[in-house]
Structure 1
Amino acid sequence: MVNRLLDDPGGREIAVVVNDMGELNVDAELVASESDDGVIDLSNGCICCRLQDDLVTEVTRLAETRSFDYLLIEASGISEPLPIARTLTGESNEGNLPEQLRLDTTVSVIDAYGFWKAFDPAESLPDAAPDPERPLTDVLVEQVEFCDVLLLNKCDMVPGDALDAVEAEIRELQPRASLHRTTHSEVEPSQVLDTGRFDFGAAKRQQGWKQALASDGDEADDDHDHDHDHGHTHDEGVSAATAHGVESFVYRRDRPFHPHRLDAWLDDWRGNVVRAKGFAWVASRPETVLGVSQAGPSVQAGPIGRWEDDDPATRLVFIGRDLDEAALCGELDDCLATTDERAAAYPDDPFPRESP
């Protein structure tokens, strides 16, 4: 995408910062071959964590030494978008950017073929995730959930009906972003540059799972219909989500889980659950909020705070295709602690846990 924008910047002068995890920044070399002015190369680390300070330093230097209309920052394939946005908006502790710069748009380029394979248990994963320490599904979901514009790329590699289903799943995960199907990242400059779409508060609030939790408290929306209409419709006005069985629901209970039964249940991934996220109450940690995050076969669960003045309760959002809500709720109900189990001690508490 960056190379295409350098070829056709829409009349803008563009500067580029390219980040790569390896010592050799191959992406920077490829981009530099398209740019007469060269690029800033941030290698051997990720700008969402260890290279945050370097990012601020280099962006500030660019603003002071070069004249440009737009700065493109290409993060590594495993970067988390949220920490980068915090850095670029001054919400982190890594210093402030020059006043003449503002964050205009966050763009996620999602590999449609990789997404299709990663969330289908009957299929093999494409090659390997960018980082063996982080499952591909984690990377994909994080990049889908936090963006203003989403390019669903490599669409030519996915059959039409499967591509519609992938888009429907992505729309359930990310209802806010402007979505464009692309091949070879071919996109009009106006679709990703000078959009003015970035809104930090909205970006943090409007992931699909957060919207589901928010609407869960609205009695007028109890039915929820499990199929947000995000503009892409099929025959007779049926939404893409409905056409492909993509849905979501909230599991809510006011009894704690037995820690070992919940831990065992989390090991058994259902292929039709794309995303599960929320908060759990566990008998082994009655004062602690247990955060649960599942993306495909990758599951993490661990303490994220204390209940304090809030009443302990479990609220878990499930997003997927052809979900059997009654069966899932029944399985989770079987994991709830009995009265005696709530009073028991759990010296071998399995939490926190992370996917292997």
Structure 2
Amino acid sequence: MSANPITSAVRPPVDHRPAVTVLSGFSPGAVQAAARALLIADEELLAIRHDLTGIRHGLITRTVESAAAVLEHTAVELVHGCVSCTLREDVLPTVVRLARERPGSDLLLVLPPAVEPEAVAAACSHCLIDGVPVTETVRFDSYVTVVDADCFLDDLASPDDLSDRDLHAADDDHRAVAEVVVHQVEFSDTVILWSRPDTDALELSRLGTLVHRLAPWSIQVSVGTSTHLDCTGLADMVRGTGRHDPARPGMLGLALEGRPIAVHDPDGGHGVTSLVFRSRRPFHPQRLHDALEDLTEQLLRGRGQLWIASQPDTALAFEFAGGGVSLGTLGYWLAALPLERWTETSDERRLAADLDWDPYYGDRRTVLALIGLHLDHEAITGLLTACLLTDAELADGFDSWRALPDPFAGCFPLTGDTTTEEK
């Protein structure tokens, strides 16, 4: 009997690169417990951990261990004490070295609380080890975040900065605790909901709903509801899943590529509200500025993209977590660029723009996700709508919009020449 030519042709090639699972979370106890469980389930698995206690003085400690033994425990001196330097100078080189020395062992990269998983992915995209891309030696199988049921909501609502808890990676590291917590969850492919047998079932269900609103693309795995932990079962659900998409953009680039940034659920279960506000019209810069405090008063998380009439070339990123609003540039709207410069952006972004192109606005659009507990959907939507240009202001056209009072003037510089085609 001859082989079926169709099934033979579609067999994927065998990938012999060691698989890396990246494990993050803001609760060190829960993260380490999850790491230990995964090591127990696979005696060949190696875990890599870095203690950043001395990072501001240029010192870190690297530990490599299996379930049976500590293989390395080494102090490392960095040229510059920062997270990006740690990733470039020791974390990724260690991953590549171990993959070469032990090609039969997969790797578990356990991140310290202050390191965000997206920073690891970004470093992998451009970091060369011995002149070779990291991903030629290893494949990043999944990014897994551990959420501790006992403290997640408190951390998410906390106004603390990392420096308030002596967790900042550098003197100029002004990140908020809530900012790091949400970034860990949002970049995950899998979320482990870590609880204990006495955790209230209703609170655990509400936590699962909140995590789903923060990261609807992630698979949730609940552990800890009994006195026994099935290490092999946990490993089967979080390792070897192939869930990570290396082409997925960062959170603030999702909407630009036409990807969903949240679930619109104004009447969510357990009081967890998730709103998605969309508009083609631009915001009036002064009215938006004046409304930010009222807009974010009840939020746990806000994210997305927007545009303001006075700066119509600029796509702006919007973030809120831990009591602070952040606005930054995502670069030019495609409508503000000559066609020959469109190739500077991804294929996905150009396709998304083409599918939703507006003859007047082009690809300019606002997409905001607002997440919290018992949010007033109508009030928030009304507040944002009131910040948009009115019909009369809209009729004045692009040239007059640039002269609107703008408290954000000069905050979002763009580089490079552009030919803007405005109508």
TM-score w.r.t. the length of structure 1 is 0.74
Secondary structure at 1:256 match in 2: coil
Which residue of 64, 71, 92 corresponds with 2:126?
A: 92
Aligned equivalent of 2:188: 147
Q: Within 2, Cα distance between the matches of 1:61 and 1:23?
A: 24
List per-residue Cα deviations over 1:83-113 (Å, max 9, x = no partner).
312444xx22434237452212211112333
Q: Within 2, Cα distance between the matches of 1:185 and 1:139?
A: 30
Q: Within 2, Cα distance between the matches of 1:347 and 1:178?
A: 42
Q: Which amino acid aligns with 1:114?
A: C
Q: Which amino acid aligns with 1:101?
A: V
Q: Which ranges of structure 1 fall in alignment gaps of 5 or more residues?
A: 217-223, 228-240
Q: Within 1, Cα distance between the matches of 2:411 and 2:152?
A: 27
Aligned equivalent of 1:116: 153
List per-residue Cα deviations over 1:220-253 (Å, max 9, x = no partner).
xxxx8628xxxxxxxxxxxxx8431334332223
Q: Within 1, Cα distance between the matches of 2:64 and 2:228?
A: 15
In 1, are the aligned partners of 2:157 and 2:178 still within 8 Å (CA)? no
Aligned equivalent of 1:344: 403
Tell whether 2:98 aligns with 1:65. Answer: no
The alpha carbon displacement at 1:170 in A equals: 0.6
Q: Which amino acid aligns with 1:163?
A: L
Q: Within 2, Cα distance between the matches of 1:4 and 1:246?
A: 27
Tell whether 2:175 aligns with 1:138. Answer: no
Change (3 A) 1:343 1:279: same
Which residue of 242, 262, 269 corresponds with 1:196?
A: 242
The alpha carbon displacement at 1:324 in A equals: 1.9
Aligned equivalent of 1:233: none
Q: Within 1, Cα distance between the matches of 2:73 and 2:238?
A: 19
Q: Which amino acid aligns with 2:142?
A: T
In 1, are the aligned partners of 2:311 and 2:402 still within 8 Å (CA)? no
In 2, are the aligned partners of 1:20 and 1:43 still within 8 Å (CA)? no
Q: Within 2, Cα distance between the matches of 1:288 and 1:116?
A: 34
The alpha carbon displacement at 1:46 in A equals: 5.5
Q: Within 2, Cα distance between the matches of 1:34 and 1:133?
A: 39
Tell whether 2:312 aligns with 1:286. Answer: yes
**Over alpha carbons, which structure has the higher Rg?**
2
Tell whether 2:71 aligns with 1:37. Answer: yes
What does residue range 171-320 of structure 1 map to in structure 2 within 5 Å? 171-183=212-224, 187=231, 188-201=234-247, 204=249, 214=259, 226=265, 242-268=268-294, 270=296, 272-309=298-335, 310-320=362-372
The alpha carbon displacement at 1:262 in A equals: 1.7
Q: Within 2, Cα distance between the matches of 1:179 and 1:245?
A: 19
The alpha carbon displacement at 1:147 in A equals: 1.5
In 2, are the aligned partners of 1:146 and 1:204 still within 8 Å (CA)? no
Q: Which amino acid aligns with 2:49?
A: V
The alpha carbon displacement at 1:73 in A equals: 1.1
Q: Within 2, Cα distance between the matches of 1:155 and 1:210?
A: 37
Change (3 A) 1:20 1:94: farther
Aligned equivalent of 1:14: 45
Q: Within 1, Cα distance between the matches of 2:61 and 2:89?
A: 21
Secondary structure at 2:241 match in 1: coil
Aligned equivalent of 1:160: 201
In 2, are the aligned partners of 1:151 and 1:180 still within 8 Å (CA)? yes
Secondary structure at 1:200 match in 2: coil
Change (3 A) 1:23 1:124: closer
List per-residue Cα deviations over 1:267-315 (Å, max 9, x = no partner).
3464643322222221331221121112352321122212232343322
TM-score w.r.t. the length of structure 2 is 0.64
List per-residue Cα deviations over 1:188-222 (Å, max 9, x = no partner).
33233333332224x54899x859x7569xxxxxx
Aligned equivalent of 1:325: 377
Q: Within 2, Cα distance between the matches of 1:41 and 1:160?
A: 43
How many percent of aligned residue pairs carry the same amino acid? 27
In 2, are the aligned partners of 1:276 and 1:316 still within 8 Å (CA)? yes
Q: Within 1, Cα distance between the matches of 2:300 and 2:365?
A: 23
Tell whether 2:110 aligns with 1:79. Answer: no
Change (3 A) 1:30 1:316: same
Aligned equivalent of 1:101: 138
Which residue of 335, 341, 353 corresponds with 2:387?
A: 335
List per-residue Cα deviations over 1:124-151 (Å, max 9, x = no partner).
9998484372111111111111112211
Q: Which ranges of structure 2 fall in alignment gaps of 5 or more residues?
A: 1-30, 336-361, 413-423
Change (3 A) 1:267 1:164: same
The alpha carbon displacement at 1:38 in A equals: 2.9
Change (3 A) 1:332 1:185: farther
- Alignment coverage as a number of residue pairs: 328
Change (3 A) 1:205 1:66: closer
In 2, are the aligned partners of 1:78 and 1:139 still within 8 Å (CA)? yes
CA RMSD of aligned residues (A): 4.1
In 2, are the aligned partners of 1:119 and 1:271 still within 8 Å (CA)? no
In 1, are the aligned partners of 2:142 and 2:242 still within 8 Å (CA)? yes
Q: Which amino acid aligns with 1:103?
A: F
Q: Which amino acid aligns with 2:116?
A: E
Q: Within 1, Cα distance between the matches of 2:222 and 2:96?
A: 34
| Farther-moved stretch of structure 1 (124-133 vs 266-275) | 124-133
| Farther-moved stretch of structure 1 (12-21 vs 33-42) | 33-42
In 1, are the aligned partners of 2:46 and 2:65 still within 8 Å (CA)? no
Secondary structure at 2:126 match in 1: coil
In 1, are the aligned partners of 2:283 and 2:307 still within 8 Å (CA)? yes
Q: Within 1, Cα distance between the matches of 2:127 and 2:64?
A: 32
Change (3 A) 1:292 1:185: farther
